[in-house]
Structure 1
Amino acid sequence: MKIVVVGAGVVGLAVAHALVDEGHAVTVVDREGPAAGASRGNAGWLAHTDIDPIASPKMLRQVPKFLLDPLGPLSIRPSYLPRLMPWLTRLVLASRPSQLARSVEALVALQRLAMPAWDRLASELDLSRLIHKRGALFVFDGEQAFALGKPHFEKQRALGIACDFLGAADLRALEPGLSERIVAGAFFPDAAHVADPLVVTQALFDAALARGVAFARADIVAIEPGPPCRAVAADGAAFEADAAVLCAGAWSKPLAARLGDAIPLDTERGYNVSFPGVTGVLSRPVAFQGHGFVATPLDTGLRIGGAVELAGLELPPNHARSRALHAKASRFLRGLPAYDAGTPWMGFRPSIPDSLPVIGRSRAAPHVLYAFGHGHYGLTQSAATARIVAALAAGREPPIDLARFSPHRFH
């Protein structure tokens, strides 16, 4: 078929490659270019060992404490709260134990596909050098906090995910850059990270062009179901195809709505500060539990990022948040440069209240497929999502049950 993919982030480009593998003629359309959004500046983790949705009773219990700190792990801009209330209501409902259990089951199924799919994609495109399999650490600055976190790690172990518990001495032997404040942690040897999310996404884009994928820069404002299917741009240009795949991340909601699919997508604004050329502080990614940030040793430099700000797409960034992340990191990492030596960034994670992406067919147009809303796991789940989309486009049974990912699960 002739297929148009809307979105040139890591999900859209992975989908383009999976469709080319099936023999389809693919055009990728994006309003800016490859990796212009969250694929540019995320933390770079291939976090396939994570199995807990954001929507959970544990998270809800922490919300009051988090909201007392306007620069803490979670904040909500007061002016945005009225627009956010329907999304928050759905998040609370998704956090009920019965719903949480079903979401965990679905997330585990998708995460199990994630790393094999990335290995396959990287191998086929000769990009394996951009994936680093050095594991990841989740560390604590208090024994009590570690004890409270242990049941979660035990649950991961029960699912067959390798996890080792380490004391302070072992942690510093593994990562000498950790300060004396860190007293315990969990090591996931099978976790991975990428050289740099921008570098990886650009490499996927270049490889797609080399394989015959066409690219057009256009601001798509509607997808008309046809036939033929038409992706219509703001300037009136139209891209005709037999099928379309919507992978526009945080900008997917209005396009799905035009097709009659009301998707409760909002954005978690993530902040970071990167230090180009700074290497040697860490050798693997580290998550600082209870403090809402991670540190990733990218090939291009050290990145400190994380936290969640709920404020939509339009309000300006608040880089006091990235300063706060840096201030926290300076307590736990040796050799961290001054904040002003870094480059701050803010990006929009496309987030669904139940923490699961939307993967499936439009109600109005079965030949329009959705693949968006991956939240914190866009990079991790992109290659697996692409294989699922390719199966749907071909009319094959997908590799996992898509009921919990359905665009229609919200009605």
Structure 2
Amino acid sequence: MNQQIAIVGAGIIGMSAARALQRAGTAVTVYDPEEPGAVCSFGNAGNIAIDHVRPLARLDVLATVPRMLADPLAPLCLKFAGLPHAWPWLWRAAVAARPAQERRGTRALGALLGAARAAWDDEIKLSGLESLFHTEGALVVYEKAGSLAATAADAAILREHGVRVDMLSADEINQRVPGLAQQAAGGRFYPDAAHTVDPRGIVTHLAERFVAEGGTIRREKVTGFLLAEGRVAGVQTAQRAETVDAVVLATGLASRPLAEQLGARTPISGERGYHVVLENGPPLDLSVTFAERGFIATPMNMGVRLAGTVELGAGTAPDWRRAEALLHHMRALYGRSDLREASRWTGDRPTLPDYLPMLGASPLARNAVFAFGHQHIGLTLAAITGRLVRDLVLERPVEIDLRACRTDRFGRV
């Protein structure tokens, strides 16, 4: 009889894991009270960001905390009112920012990201996603020569971890990104990057293929687990208790209470981001990051999406000034006051203090696999995470060293 696998969470991580396990011959049921891809998977920047190998928990980022507090519209900001609540998380981030820990985190992310594009290429073919991806690379624009020169060490770190980086002259970047009001100083091209034209459409399509090929999706919230002899024997919802052979926890920001039931301390936090979709954006062929302004513009089916801000210590109400700042930046960059907003969105990315995902077996049950906390790069790492989850669940050798992502690294409950 096929193994019965429960996946908790129907975002991009959960559905990628569901497809990988389904193709391995298991019987998979996905549980989520929301529709597939309704949360962060809906609003992300759409970039397959293979260059994000350096965790944000590092000393040069911590040095900007005074600016984070002083400027509520900075690309990375810390809400003063949220500081008391955010302090324990920030302290852990400071610990993770020590040079040795940062290098360890960079190695871990480098290994995951080094396999990310190939995993997506496979998933695109296997799930028929060709129309939803453009795989021609990504650009980064620097407006000032000093800013570009200051990133030389960063480029060296990326190359050290296998990321191909082409440095572009001012003429080259201005030809690739026409229409800027002021000529750029230069830029970078990442030939192995990619972007999607419909982030939620990916999840919706994966879910449809999953169901068409025999998978089950239940619009139910998992509230707990049935444990027996050091294993998860079943999952509990308000509607039912169901026997399982293994469970995958892929519930993003909502993972903490369930992960703690399975023995792991989980200091996960919501790192708020915003996006604005332009009704009449400039013509772009690739995703373009404007480095000094800290945001990315991605051409999508619904328009050019501007995204990428980081807000720590956010309250319950959105600070829509941060979304409006994205529109202001784009108008200034292109000298176009006529650029109009078609829609806006905000959501909280699931982020652990060391900026690494929890990826591995739970401390209490080897047949319970955690796959959450992917911060800004959930879309990027979804396909490779799905393959790793498959191998962890089936107790096969995994292709990547996951010790830095172990589930008990913040302690056990």
- TM norm structure 2: 0.94
Q: Give secondary structure in 2 for the equivalent of 1:273.
A: strand
Matched, 1:101 2:103: yes
Structure 1 match to 2:235 = 231
Per-residue displacement from partner, 1:216-254 (whole Å, max 9, x unpaired)?
Answer: 111222233346633222x35333311110000111111
Structure 2 match to 1:345 = 345
Structure 2 match to 1:319 = 320
- The amino acid that maps onto 1:324 is A
Q: Measure, in 2, the Cα distance between the counterparts of 1:75 and 1:62.
A: 9
Q: Give secondary structure in 1 for the equivalent of 2:171.
A: helix
Q: Measure, in 1, the Cα distance between the counterparts of 2:171 and 2:234.
A: 60
- The amino acid that maps onto 2:260 is A
Q: Is the 8 A contact 1:177 1:282 kept in 2?
A: no
Q: Give secondary structure in 2 for the equivalent of 1:51.
A: coil
Q: Give secondary structure in 2 for the equivalent of 1:342.
A: strand
Q: Measure, in 1, the Cα distance between the counterparts of 2:263 and 2:391.
A: 24
- The amino acid that maps onto 1:231 is V
Structure 2 match to 1:125 = 127
Q: Is the 8 A contact 1:359 1:405 kept in 2?
A: yes
The correspondence for 1:180, drawn from 177, 182, 191, is 182
- The amino acid that maps onto 2:235 is A
Matched, 1:59 2:61: yes
CA displacement at 1:149 relative to structure 2: 1.5
- The amino acid that maps onto 2:205 is A
Q: Is the 8 A contact 1:281 1:334 kept in 2?
A: no
Q: Give secondary structure in 1 for the equivalent of 2:293.
A: coil
CA displacement at 1:335 relative to structure 2: 5.3
Per-residue displacement from partner, 1:285-333 (whole Å, max 9, x unpaired)?
Answer: 1111132211111132100111111236x61211111001211222113
Q: Is the 8 A contact 1:275 1:337 kept in 2?
A: no
Q: Give secondary structure in 1 for the equivalent of 2:292.
A: coil
Structure 1 alignment gaps of length 5 or more: none
Q: Measure, in 1, the Cα distance between the counterparts of 2:349 and 2:337.
A: 26
Structure 2 match to 1:368 = 368
Q: Measure, in 2, the Cα distance between the counterparts of 1:79 and 1:365.
A: 39
Q: Give secondary structure in 1 for the equivalent of 2:83.
A: helix
Q: Give secondary structure in 1 for the equivalent of 2:150.
A: helix
Q: Give secondary structure in 2 for the equivalent of 1:282.
A: coil
Q: Give secondary structure in 2 for the equivalent of 1:388.
A: helix
Q: Is the 8 A contact 2:30 2:217 kept in 1?
A: yes
Q: How has the CA–CA distance of structure 1 residues 228 and 403 changed in structure 2, closer, same or farther, with 3 Å as cutoff?
A: closer
- The amino acid that maps onto 1:330 is R
Per-residue displacement from partner, 1:152-200 (whole Å, max 9, x unpaired)?
Answer: 1132234442222223221121121333152221111221111210111
Q: Measure, in 1, the Cα distance between the counterparts of 2:154 and 2:310.
A: 21
Identity percentage of aligned residues: 37
Q: Give secondary structure in 1 for the equivalent of 2:366.
A: coil
Q: Is the 8 A contact 1:4 1:239 kept in 2?
A: no
Q: Measure, in 1, the Cα distance between the counterparts of 2:89 and 2:353.
A: 6
Q: Measure, in 1, the Cα distance between the counterparts of 2:391 and 2:184.
A: 45
CA displacement at 1:348 relative to structure 2: 1.3
- The amino acid that maps onto 2:61 is M
Q: Measure, in 1, the Cα distance between the counterparts of 2:65 and 2:150.
A: 17
Matched, 1:240 2:243: yes
The correspondence for 1:39, drawn from 38, 41, 49, is 41
CA displacement at 1:364 relative to structure 2: 1.3
Q: Measure, in 2, the Cα distance between the counterparts of 1:258 and 1:189.
A: 43
289-298 or 217-226, which moves further after superposition? 217-226
Q: Is the 8 A contact 1:49 1:190 kept in 2?
A: no
| Count of matched residue positions in the alignment of Structure 1 and Structure 2 | 407
Matched, 1:274 2:277: yes
Q: Is the 8 A contact 1:177 1:335 kept in 2?
A: no
Q: Measure, in 2, the Cα distance between the counterparts of 1:38 and 1:133.
A: 22
Q: Measure, in 1, the Cα distance between the counterparts of 2:354 and 2:338.
A: 37
Matched, 1:294 2:271: no
Matched, 1:250 2:238: no
Q: Measure, in 2, the Cα distance between the counterparts of 1:237 and 1:79.
A: 41
Cα RMSD, aligned residues only:
1.7
Q: Measure, in 2, the Cα distance between the counterparts of 1:310 and 1:237.
A: 37
Q: Is the 8 A contact 2:262 2:362 kept in 1?
A: yes
- TM norm structure 1: 0.94
Q: Is the 8 A contact 1:182 1:332 kept in 2?
A: no
Structure 2 match to 1:86 = 88
Q: Give secondary structure in 1 for the equivalent of 2:306.
A: strand
241-250 or 121-130, which moves further after superposition? 121-130
Q: Measure, in 2, the Cα distance between the counterparts of 1:214 and 1:42.
A: 26
CA displacement at 1:280 relative to structure 2: 5.0
Q: Measure, in 1, the Cα distance between the counterparts of 2:326 and 2:259.
A: 35
> Counterparts of 1:196-215 in structure 2 under 5 Å?
196-215=198-217
Moved over 4 A (4+): 334-337
